[in-house]
Amino acid sequence: MLADAALAVMWVGLTCYALFGGADFGAGVWDLLAGGAERGRARRGLIEHSIGPVWEANHVWLIFVVVMLWSAFSPVFAAVMSTLYIPLTLAALGIIARGAAFAFRKASTELWQQRLFGACFALSSLLTPFFLGTVAGGVASGRVPPGLAEGDVLTSWLNPTSMLGGVLAVVTCAHLAAVYLCADADREGRPELASVLARDAVISGLAAGVVALAGIAVLHADAPALFHGLTHRALPLVVVSAVAGVTGLGLLARRRFVAARAAAALAVAAILWAWGAAQYPALLVGSTTLTGAAANASVLWAVLVSLGAGAVVLVPSLWLLYATFQRGVPERPSSR
Amino acid sequence: MTRTLLSAGVLSVYAAGRVSEGDLAAARAQMGFSLAWHIIVACLGVGLPALTLLAEWYGIRTGNPAHQLLARRWARAMGVLFAVGAVSGTILSFEMGLLWPGLMGRFGQVIGLPFALEGIAFFVEAIFLGIYLYAWDRLPPRRHLLTGIPIVVAGTASAFFVVCANAWMNQPRGFTVRDGKVVHVNPWAAMLNPAAPPQTVHMILAAFMVASFLAAAVYAVAMLRGRRDTYHRAGFFIPFTLGAIVTPFQIYVGDWAARFLSRYQPTKLAAIEGVYRTRSHVPLTIGGVADGNGLKYGLEIPNGLSLLVGYDPGTVVKGLDRVPAAQRPPVTAVHWAFDLMVAIGFFLLAMGLWLLWAWWSRRRAGGELPTPRLFLAPAAAAGPAAVVALECGWSVTELGRQPWIVWGVMSVRDAANPAPGLMTGLWLVLVVYTAMTVATVYVLRRLARGTPVPRAPQEEDVARYPVV
């Protein structure tokens, strides 16, 4: 029961990272596709403006998930990190390149520097979610055995399910970002930019749909246990995801951008929870269950109570953050 | 103690150290390098917000545009440093698993609590940093100043929690090993272990010192180049004063930390001081080279160490002879790192006293504080020196614990990832960090290279000054 609570909390963190961090990564992907320095200026400006104040807070969800995993399910953490250390190292390097380059680009004034840092930011925004997706695929397809580096360091992430996970992560991030950004563009009174972004959101949404459909075949052949879970116990969540995805596209077409944000978020969250439901109670498919890996009750209690207390501080703070930046700048002279 | 040593045998059998020599060295180098890098940025992340708030508060109170511009520029630097600090910190949490899965698989749950709390503190820090940096034009000045306070509090709290986890590696508590399994975990006892108080306080004060002396050094250099306007003077004196205030406390805490070692980690103290034989009337040796029996060519102060440890020349100091040779830390490296840290500490103390004397004599005579080149040159050196002291202190803590990753319980070898190819990871990390270092230094230099404030500026103009 306590272990279930810890797992649920960790999964909430993972969902938040997929949604908020995913939108950040996706923004980087759109930054990459924005075109040359002149043509892409408006779009890059919007991206910088929209994610600048929030990306660090969004990024913390990843740390939260990592820490929850090692505190509550230490053996699983050790097994995953040691076997999948190649994609995880690459994702870690991508995280460095991305965060640092984003900050550097903001602080530089010359075009060549902005180009260099921008390219670094955008490219790592593409690669990092891809590698994280391959990690998810490796775990979901049962390629991580318990123990230290017991799995194959290459095939654990170079396999059909991992590739599916990587590609799906990238297109999903792109979709989330486009939906997120067009609501921002619309609010800031830039309808023409919002329209372009809405078009991109629809394209990326369709792409995500196509990848997901193709994924059915891949999972059927490569990860039968996961496939079985997704088509049986987790089926309602899969359906919710599909319906939310289609609804979101309809809302985009009707320029209902804020509602489209909610639909896109629901679609992504539902598929994550479907994965969780499909392999529950296995943490490492085929070997380690929740109860087998869970920490001492004293630890789970301490961590959950601390997080509960922390939430009392965090929730109003997060609200303050998003509230401060999700409304227009007040008409005030900027002198002080 | 008997129990933990017994359990060490059990754990070694469990992990059996499958890692190759080369990969183990690579893992150690990668962890050491990325920690050494992060620790500097993390210290700036703790100390710089406090300096920025001081300048902003000064600016609001006096209406002096120089202080306001300083606050804005420091805030920009803070944004850059926080970003690289956040990502390099994330890498560390990855590396805990990528490089040391043996440690985390076994003891992750024991030290999970401080990291979870650190996560919360870091989250608060990130949130308010976002607000502070970006809401400058959206909030009235005083309220804006208030949004900066949680950054300082949360930054200090993160440092506290993270160092608690490190302290646990020096004083493992709060668990029992039975049949090779960790049972009866008490995460609070693990977090609040006896090493936590001296280590956390020492680290937090170090963070303020490093940030203060480094920031002051930037303006000391500018003043040496002849830019002595209000802006540069304030940029020098605000941080330098803070650093000078903290230093004597730090020296006191350092003494406490060393005394703590004599009681709880005598092997580390023995390595620090090069004491091979347990005995009384131990001299204090400054410098020297370890030859396996003692320190050669060092400057000896008779009875010095016995006096420092127990205020009595008859105090017995435990030596390295208490443990087998394979369990001794690298003496020369640890000893030199410690001596260098202490030397720099006293140099910084002297600089602080110099400032105090200047302030006192000027108070009687009136006018501005004098800034002779004779003072500014060592003041500029104080910044890099503080960083060197920081790295030395950290080396003492980490190298002094070798060959243990968890003191007396688990060896570094048994914690390492047995997967092949860690050496490649090391090279990749070195390349990425080198690029990041170059870019960070470049961007910070650009931020510091500011236009000085004109003699009589209009207050409204300040907001329009180029911040970059």
Nearest by CB to residue A299, choosing from B68, B187, B425, is: B187
The yes-or-no verdict on residue B146 having pLDDT over 60 is yes
- Higher pLDDT: B266 or A109? It is B266
Q: Looking at the DSSP assignment, which residues form a beta bridge with residue B176? A: B183
Q: Looking at the DSSP assignment, which residues form a beta bridge with residue B411? A: B404
| The dihedral sign for the CA sequence B447, B449, B452, B457 | negative
What's the pLDDT at B8? 43
Q: What torsion, rounded to 10 degrees, do the Cα atoms A146, A16, A52, A34 define?
A: 80
Secondary structure of chain B as H, E, C letters = CHHHHHHHHHHHHHHCCCCCHHHHHHHHHHHHHHHHHHHHHHHHHHHHHHHHHHHHHHHHHHCCHHHHHHHHHHHHHHHHHHHHHHHHHHHHHHHHHHCCHHHHHHHCCCCHHHHHHHHHHHHHHHHHHHHHHHCCCCCCHHHHHHHHHHHHHHHHHHHHHHHHHHHHHHCCCCCEEECCEEECCCHHHHHCCCCHHHHHHHHHHHHHHHHHHHHHHHHHHHHHCCCCCHHHHHHHHHHHHHHHHHHHHHHHHHHHHHHHHHHHCHHHHHHHHCCCCCECCCCEEECCEECCCCEECCEEECCHHHHHHHCCCCCCECCHHHCCHHHCCCHHHHHHHHHHHHHHHHHHHHHHHHHHHHHHHHHHHCCCCCCCHHHHHHHHHHHHHHHHHHHHHHHHHHHCCCCEEECCCEEHHHHCCCCCCHHHHHHHHHHHHHHHHHHHHHHHHHHHCCCCCCCCCCHHHHCCCCCC
How does residue B468 score in pLDDT terms, banded at 50, 70 and 90? very low
Provide, as residue numbers in chain A, all residues whose Cβ is less than 8 Å from the Cβ of B98.
81-82, 85, 88-89, 92
Contact A152, A145 (CB under 8 A): no
Question: Beta strands of chain A (E only): which ranges?
Answer: 282-284, 288-289
DSSP state of A335: -
How far apart CA B85 and CA B44 sit, in angstroms, is: 9
How far apart CA B124 and CA B129 sit, in angstroms, is: 8
Identify whether A146 is preceded by a cis peptide bond (ω within 30 of 0): no
Q: Looking at the DSSP assignment, which residues form a beta bridge with residue B404? A: B411
Shortest Cα–Cα distance, A302 to chain B (Å): 7
What's the pLDDT at A173? 92
What's the pLDDT at B1? 39
Of the listed ranges A258-267, B173-182, B228-237, B448-457, the least confidently predicted one is: B448-457
CB contact under 8 A, A314 and B124: yes
DSSP three-state, residue A305: helix
The residue count for chain A: 336
How far apart CA B216 and CA B231 sit, in angstroms, is: 12
B58 vs A: CB within 8 A? no
Identify whether A236 is preceded by a cis peptide bond (ω within 30 of 0): no
Contact B211, B47 (CB under 8 A): yes
How far apart CA B345 and CA A99 sit, in angstroms, is: 34
**pLDDT digit string, tens, across residues B416-445:** 888 888 888 889 889 988 988 988 888 888
Of the listed ranges A5-14, B16-25, B44-53, B194-203, the least confidently predicted one is: B16-25
Mean pLDDT, to the nearest integer, of B140-169?
Answer: 93
Q: What backbone phi and psi angles, to 5 degrees, belong to A233?
A: -60, -40
B19 vs A: CB within 8 A? no
Contact B205, B263 (CB under 8 A): no
What's the pLDDT at B342? 93
Contact B335, B396 (CB under 8 A): no
Provide, as residue numbers in chain B, all residues whose Cβ is less than 8 Å from the Cβ of A329.
137-138
- Percent of chain B whose predicted confidence (pLDDT) is above 70: 91
How does residue B37 score in pLDDT terms, banded at 50, 70 and 90? very high
How far apart CA B174 and CA B184 sit, in angstroms, is: 8
What's the pLDDT at A86? 92
What's the pLDDT at B9? 42
Of the listed ranges A114-118, B93-97, B184-188, B220-224, the least confidently predicted one is: A114-118
CB contact under 8 A, B137 and A334: yes
Nearest to B129 by CA among A48, A63, A317, A309: A317
Mutate to test the interface with B, among A50, A68, A89 (most CBs of B within 10 A): A89
Nearest to A31 by CA among A122, A155, A127: A122
ipTM for the predicted complex comes to: 0.87
CB contact under 8 A, B94 and A106: no
* Cα–Cα–Cα angle for B78, B388, B384, rounded to 5 degrees: 55
Provide, as residue numbers in chain B, all residues whose Cβ is less than 8 Å from the Cβ of A95.
87, 90-91
What's the pLDDT at A328? 56
Nearest by CB to residue B459, choosing from A74, A317, A335, is: A335
What's the pLDDT at B33? 92
B101 vs A: CB within 8 A? yes
B459 vs A: CB within 8 A? yes
Mean pLDDT, to the nearest integer, of B268-287?
Answer: 87
The yes-or-no verdict on residue B299 having pLDDT over 60 is yes
Digit-by-digit pLDDT tens for chain A (336 residues) are 899 999 999 999 999 999 988 888 888 888 888 777 777 777 788 887 777 777 777 788 888 899 999 999 999 999 999 999 999 999 998 888 888 888 788 777 778 888 888 888 888 889 999 999 999 999 999 899 988 888 888 989 999 999 999 999 999 999 999 998 888 888 888 888 888 888 889 999 999 999 988 998 999 999 898 999 999 999 999 999 999 999 998 998 888 888 989 999 999 999 999 999 999 898 888 888 888 888 888 999 999 999 999 999 988 988 888 887 766 554 444 333
Nearest by CB to residue A67, choosing from B88, B119, B185, is: B119
Residues near A94 by beta carbon (within 8 Å), at least 6 away in sequence: A124, A127, A128, A131
Nearest by CB to residue A89, choosing from B104, B126, B425, is: B425
Nearest by CB to residue A336, choosing from B68, B97, B419, is: B68
| The dihedral sign for the CA sequence A165, B119, A26, B437 | negative
B76, closest residue in chain A (CA to CA)? A107
CA B464 to chain CA mean position, Å: 36
pTM attached to this predicted model: 0.87
